[in-house]
Amino acid sequence: MPLTDVTVRNAKPGPKTVRLRDERGLYLEISPKGGKWWRFRYMLRGKANMLSLGVYPDVSLKDARIRRDDARKLLANGIDPAQGRKEQKAETIKDEATFERVAREWFAKFRLNWTSSHGDRIMRRLEKDIFPWIGARPINDILAPELLTTVRRIEERGAIETAHRALQNCGQVFRFAVAAGHADRDISGDLRGAIPPSKEKHHATVTDPKEVAPLLRAIEGYQGSYITMCALRLAPLTFVRPGELRHAEWEEINLEVAEWRIPAAKMKMRQQHIVPLAKQSVRVLQDLRPLTGSGRYLFPSTRTATRPMSENTVNGALRRLGYSKDEMTGHGFRSMASTLLNEMGWNRDAIERQLAHAERDNIRAAYNYAEYLPERRRMMQDWADYLDKLKIGAKVTPLFAIFSE
């Protein structure tokens, strides 16, 4: 029986997708969340195909039938209506510099400058929070109030930091558009101060030696997976970023020279990073190699050896040890090392280089990834020895205290 306006209006969602049939291939699809889409199912060259005809109530039952009939006319002439729509849409986008088109061009040009995870976050942010609102608009027609309204939708759900990052990405797209001749100016500059500042977030960490000691002893007594325990033991010794740790590969490790070389593609700043391995780190890796050395990753996923462990594994292990997210995180080992190494009197530049923080002079950074390496080797071994002494309860006097006497 054909659908009626009343039937369509009163149709309710179910636990699974509901489909209400009309006539000649038209039906209404209702998602479990309540969204209603018009679909047209048809056969072409012996294969079943489906065409979306719009969303109810924006497209009424009458309009959906008109669209279905238009599609059937194309079929009668041997034309695939879905392909025709794709070509029409592609031609429209080609002729018009929409925000989405320009944004995707910008992304394609610069994505090699970012890690894959960072690039994925940028594109997800644009696809989720920006494209649905201004993606189809000609980029040169977008005004500052329109962009502000779009970004404030993010702010209103409490994601202020995300709102700032989205506005920053939009500014990069607009500047790219100006350079390519698609826009007259970067309107995002007019919105400085329009979004309230986000509260600076600090990764929870432990920096008091009296608190570091029990943390290290807790790690040694970890009762979960031995592979996870090795990751926990390496985290304070190497203080790399959590993503760099879990993506570590055996081919990057050279135990003979006690060195871990992380490729530029894995680094936040896209520059190769050298991690000198203290004797304690080498012992951890020697213990780990019989378990995972035949595979790619030092710390493979429990589900498949072709992927690294979950990003939540180390933090989850810290929770099992009794440390809440407000007390200690996997990223917190970096702050721990930074704070204590500075207190121990080590060269600040050597510490910053070992933390792989950004180098203001990009050209200088590209040629100096090994800068301070001899000093960093001594520092990493001294740091590991310092942690060992803390772990066994020895009283340790930082160098800065000696120098100040």
**Which of the residues 39, 68, 125, 241 is marked catalytic?**
241
Same domain, 222 and 313: yes
> E strands of 26-125, at which residues?
26-30, 36-44, 47-56
Same domain, 165 and 67: no
**Which of the residues 68, 104, 273, 331 is marked catalytic?**
331
- Is 201 within the bounds of a domain? no
Q: Do 235 and 333 meet the contact criterion of CB atoms below 8 Å apart?
A: yes
- Is 268 annotated as catalytic? yes
pLDDT digits (tens, 9 = 90+) for 158-186: 888 899 999 999 999 999 999 988 998 99
Residue 204: predicted pLDDT? 85
Q: What are phi and psi of 126, to 5 degrees?
A: -65, -45
With a cut of 50, say whether residue 33 has pLDDT above it: yes
Residue 268: predicted pLDDT? 75
- Is 203 annotated as catalytic? no
49-55: long-range pairs with CB below 8 Å, 24+ = 49/80, 49/82, 50/82, 51/81, 51/82, 51/85, 53/26
- Is 241 annotated as catalytic? yes
Between CA 167 and CA 188 the distance in angstroms is 7
* 3-state SS, residue 58: coil
Same domain, 298 and 376: yes
Between CA 133 and CA 143 the distance in angstroms is 13
With a cut of 90, say whether residue 374 has pLDDT above it: yes
Same domain, 222 and 321: yes
Q: What CATH number did the domain enclosing 216 receive?
A: 1.10.443.10
Same domain, 183 and 308: no
pLDDT digits (tens, 9 = 90+) for 99-122: 999 999 999 998 887 767 778 889
With a cut of 70, say whether residue 87 has pLDDT above it: no
With a cut of 90, say whether residue 396 has pLDDT above it: no
123-127, 376-380, 395-399: segment of lowest average pLDDT = 395-399
Residue 366: predicted pLDDT? 45
Same domain, 261 and 341: yes
**Which of the residues 121, 153, 203, 268 is marked catalytic?**
268
Instruction: Give exposure, 310-342, as e/b (b: 16+ Cβ within 10 Å).
Output: eeebbbebbeebebeeeebbbbbbbbbbbebbe
Between CA 104 and CA 139 the distance in angstroms is 12
Q: What percent of the chain has pLDDT over 70?
A: 89
Q: What are phi and psi of 30, to 5 degrees?
A: -115, 120
Q: What percent of the chain has pLDDT over 90?
A: 62
pLDDT digits (tens, 9 = 90+) for 190-243: 998 898 886 655 678 998 999 999 999 999 999 999 999 999 999 999 999 999
Residue 362: predicted pLDDT? 47
User: Residue 385 is inside which H or E element, if any?
Assistant: helix 373-391
45-54, 176-185, 283-292, 359-368: segment of lowest average pLDDT = 359-368
Q: Which residue has the higher pLDDT, 83 or 129?
A: 129
- Is 386 annotated as catalytic? no
- Is 204 within the bounds of a domain? no
With a cut of 80, say whether residue 394 has pLDDT above it: no
389, 397, 380: which is closest to 346 by C-alpha? Answer: 380
Residue 326: predicted pLDDT? 85
Residue 63: predicted pLDDT? 93
DSSP for 358-379? PPSSHHHHHH-TTTTHHHHHHH
**Which of the residues 334, 353, 369, 386 is marked catalytic?**
334
- Is 198 within the bounds of a domain? no
- Is 371 within the bounds of a domain? yes
- Regarding pTM above 0.85, the answer is no
Q: Do 75 and 42 meet the contact criterion of CB atoms below 8 Å apart?
A: yes
Between CA 162 and CA 159 the distance in angstroms is 5
Range of the domain at 121: 99-191
Residue 265: band (very low, low, confident or very high) from pLDDT cuts 50, 70, 90: confident
Chain centroid offset of residue 300 CA = 19
Residue 279: band (very low, low, confident or very high) from pLDDT cuts 50, 70, 90: very high
The one-letter amino acid at 318? L
Choose one of 92, 122, 157: the last residue of a domain. Answer: 92
The stretch 310-339 carries a mean pLDDT of: 92
Same domain, 320 and 376: yes
**Which of the residues 357, 377, 378, 391 is marked catalytic?**
357
* Total tally of structural domains belonging to the chain: 3
Choose one of 92, 109, 143: the last residue of a domain. Answer: 92
Average per-residue pLDDT in the chain? 87
Residue 76: band (very low, low, confident or very high) from pLDDT cuts 50, 70, 90: confident
Between CA 189 and CA 253 the distance in angstroms is 45
Same domain, 398 and 277: yes
Residue 401: band (very low, low, confident or very high) from pLDDT cuts 50, 70, 90: very low
